[in-house]
Amino acid sequence: MLAEERRESILASLNTQGQVGVGELARRFHVSEETVRRDLEELERQGLARRVHGGAMTEGRTRLETPYDTRRRTNVASKQLIARLASELIGDGEYIMMDESSTSFYLATLIKSLKRLTVITNSMEIVSELSPVEGWTVMCTGGIKRQSAPSFAGHVAESMVSGYHVDKAIISCDSVSIDAGFTDRHEDTALIKRAMMASARQVMLLCDRTKLDRTAFAKIGSLNEIDYFVTDAPLDAKWRETLLARGVKLICPEEEQK
């Protein structure tokens, strides 16, 4: 288990139990107590936990932020720019699938003026954002509620997605590289993103520049499986040539100005 995944699990336990012990966590994750203490130090540094003797606890009854809450507030300007660029690729009457990423959520806030959209998503926040839009059909996958984010995953979610055919799948990722393709830290979210891709005529990958040239645990897909690569900054020649060779349309601020 990666350190970030371990910390997400610790946060989930803090949210439900209010406190955790170093020894218990070391046994659960099969790591040393020193490793757990470093995890707790990092969570405290981020303002997500308060260390006490022998473990950590919440601050009174205040709800701790999940890693998703933190991501929602990270690189906001870049995500909003990507969302604006992506919104111009969606038209009235389309059928679309949207993943649970924070960038997809920002996109959802920008497309509510469109007419007669059908949206399928595993994100509880996107469902809440779009359900009031008149004339739209908004469908939630259901499935297993993820502890670290307001979204669903698992077999039920994948099965629901696989039962439909849509115009576009709109997904994000944790990392992307030329050789490894685009990847996610969690296998369950990678699987539902793959299912969305398989059900769509076109695939849009939303990816800010901080994710380039990195690789995460679970593969979502290869670059030649996407149609649009939407990002927040111009890419270097190697990336441009790679996307062009694989038939991918690059959408970024520089391209928009041409």
Contact (CB, 8 A) for 167 and 202: yes
pLDDT digits (tens, 9 = 90+) for 135-190: 999 999 999 988 778 899 999 999 999 999 999 999 999 999 999 999 998 899 99
**In this structure, what DSSP letter does residue 152 have?**
E
The whole-angstrom separation of Cα 185 and Cα 174 is 7
Question: In DSSP terms, which residues pair with 170 in a beta bridge?
Answer: 98, 204
In the chain, ranges of CATH 3.40.50.1360 domains: 74-257
Give this prediction's pTM.
0.74
Grouping H, G, I as helix, E, B as strand and the rest as coil, residue 107 is helix
- Torsion sign (Cα): 145, 186, 9, 103: negative
Closest by alpha carbon to 145, among 122, 116, 169?
122
Every domain of the chain with CATH number 1.10.10.10 lies at: 3-65
CATH number of this structure's domain 74-257? 3.40.50.1360
217-238 tens-digit pLDDT: 899 999 999 999 999 999 999 9
Helix axes 33-45, 22-29, angle to 10 degrees: 110
Q: How far apart are the first and last CA of the chain?
A: 45
- Residue 257: what pLDDT? 42
Single-letter amino acid, residue 100:
E
18: left (phi over 0), alpha (psi -120 to 50) or beta: left
3-65: which CATH number, 3.90.79.10, 3.30.70.20, 1.10.8.870, 1.10.10.10? 1.10.10.10
Distance separating alpha carbons of residues 146 and 243, to the nearest angstrom: 33
The tokens describing 230, both together, are: 């939407």
Query: Could you read off the pLDDT of 14-47 as tens digits, one per residue?
Result: 776 778 899 989 988 899 999 999 999 988 877 7
Q: What is the dihedral of CA 69, 73, 79, 81, to 10 degrees?
A: 140
pLDDT of residue 2: 73
Q: Could you tell me the pLDDT band of residue 255, with boundaries at 50, 70 and 90?
A: low
